[in-house]
Amino acid sequence: MEIEKVIAEALSGLEPRQRNVLEKRFGLKNGKETTLAELGEAHEVTRERIRQIETGAIKEIREKIGGGRGIFDAVRDYLKNYGGARREDLLLGDLRSLFASASPFGVFSAQMKFLREVFGDVRLFPENEGLRSFWYLNEENKKTAIKLIGDLARILASKKEEVITHKKFDSLFGKALAPHALKDFIGLNFLSISKKFNSNPFGDFGLSEWPEITPKRIGDKAYLVLKKTAQPMHFRELTKAINLAKFDRRTAYPQTVHNELIKDSRFVLVGRGSYSLREFGLLPGTVKEIIARFIKKRGPMNSEDVAAVVCSERLFKKNTVLLNLQNKKLFKRLDDGRYSLIRDA
């Protein structure tokens, strides 16, 4: 049965004021809910009187309506398939497709919320600081979902490196699932209810509080992009990549990104305006300092080898390296053509 016909059946026979209150209170025509106070003002009564009208009208509908039972049988079956609980916005999106509703999402959502209120045997957990609003069948389903969320959050709390770098989420997730004997997709469904978990634009899943998952500072966003690309990037190119990733609605600007790269020790300047990550084994320094570091580590080297090894780590031009190699205060050309540090000569 079409949702619109069920709603029409539900409202038929009500007094005009009852009908008006329900249509506007739930947003049945436009998807926009009206507050008790706004309705009270429109009808020149108190908000408490509006609440009484709403309650009385729903009671009347509940006693006479029958057509909507088939719809909510389908809703209950849907929830059973997902372990008895489902995040409200995801559930409503799926139900809209299931019922092939032509109504806009906002209107369809309002209609389903109204029918849930009428039939009352599918429960609503309202959104709070840690959880998104969700529908559930019974207290046991709700407790299982919330328990799993808490269990996994405690397991992941000290395992960021294992999750982000070593990709161990699946095994840790399995550990949290085991006591509840839940299938993976039901467990993931329960996790979607929680605000404690999130995924970044690169597909990594973990705790929302981790900057690698929900980066808020420009430096954290730049770090994550460079970590994933594993290639040096000019700060202007990096700014574009940050904005394309759409971590949030804020726009990054080149000068802001550059300022963050300069002051954050996680980043290393590898060329004119280009940066990489220190954790990749790169150390900061000027051209001559980097040349000195390689010669000290490897011993005397010819000019071609010096240029090759320095340019493999930094985006310097070969001639720039060769020019700095001529610094006679730091380097000495040996008889065999190789270069050594002055103090090692």
Q: What is the pLDDT of residue 246?
A: 92
Q: What is the pLDDT of residue 311?
A: 80
Torsion of CA 160, 165, 170, 175, to 10 degrees: -40
pTM: 0.75
Question: Mean pLDDT for each 10-residue chunk of the chain (345 residues)?
Answer: 80 91 92 92 92 92 73 90 96 92 91 88 93 96 96 95 90 93 94 95 92 94 92 93 94 96 91 86 75 88 89 77 87 90 68
CATH of span 218-280: 1.10.10
> Who's near 264: CB < 8 A, 6+ residues apart?
219, 222, 223
Hey, what CATH topology would domain 287-344 get? Answer: Arc Repressor Mutant, subunit A (1.10.10)
Domain boundaries, the chain: 3-64, 138-207, 218-280, 287-344
Cα→Cα distances 255→159, 235, 262, Å: 34, 8, 11
- CATH 1.20.1260.10 holds for 3-64: no
Q: What is the pLDDT of residue 345?
A: 41
Q: What is the pLDDT of residue 26?
A: 93
Q: Say whether 280 sits in a helix, a strand or coil.
A: helix
